[in-house]
Amino acid sequence: MLSTIEEHFATVTDERQQYKVRYPLLDILLITLVGVICGADGWEAIEEVGKNKLKLLKKYGYFHYGIPVHDTIARIISAIEPSQFQECFINWMKEAEISTQGEIVAVDGKTVRRSFDKKGKQGAIHMVSAFAAENGVVLGQVKTYEKSNEITAIPDLLSKLDIKGAVITIDAMGCQKVIAKKIIQKEADYVLAVKGNQGNLSTAIRDFLT
């Protein structure tokens, strides 16, 4: 997996002036991805993982100057165009994930811890993820700033994924015609939870079963 990072992330634009670059973008991406995989939940933790895993990282990157400080990692990653990184990440995950007929792909939204910025008047970041249960990997994610935006974020996420033959599970928030239609278009099946947000449908199912 790590050996293919350079191949899959080669199209991510590095906006830095190259003659000033001390740490190649590949090194920064490797540190960040390995850090997150190891459970790091912040830039300082990612730096710490990088120091502990430097021997491993040198097998796949350069690291002539060792591991940069967390502020440098944060600054470089923050300058990357999110949509570019997202596309590369999804393609990377496609290679890692072994597709199986009828596999469960769970689509769910979670609020990112400590992402609320009161001073900057920015609400908490909400991520919608597609998780392949059989392989235990996240196939892709999209970011929203409101939980209610999951309804529009889910079709956008599904459109980026190869889910043919899979079974997509979504909670009641995703029980929407447009989402079901997108899943069918992608040649997958779905299991959607039904609650009060779909009152008529919920009543019809209850009446049918009783």
What is the spatial distance between Cα 111 and Cα 148, in angstroms, rounded to a whole number? 12
What is the arithmetic mean of pLDDT over 78-107? 81
What is the spatial distance between Cα 73 and Cα 28, in angstroms, rounded to a whole number? 6
**pLDDT value at 126 more than 90:** no
What is the spatial distance between Cα 22 and Cα 63, in angstroms, rounded to a whole number? 9
User: By C-alpha distance, which of 154, 66, 151 is closest to 105?
Assistant: 154
Q: What's the mean per-residue pLDDT of the chain?
A: 85
Least confident of 19-23, 73-77, 99-103, 167-171: 99-103
**pLDDT value at 38 more than 80:** yes
State the pTM of this model: 0.63
User: By C-alpha distance, which of 71, 76, 90 is closest to 27?
Assistant: 76
Fold of the domain spanning 99-209? Nucleotidyltransferase; domain 5 (3.30.420)
**pLDDT value at 121 more than 60:** no
The length of the chain is 210
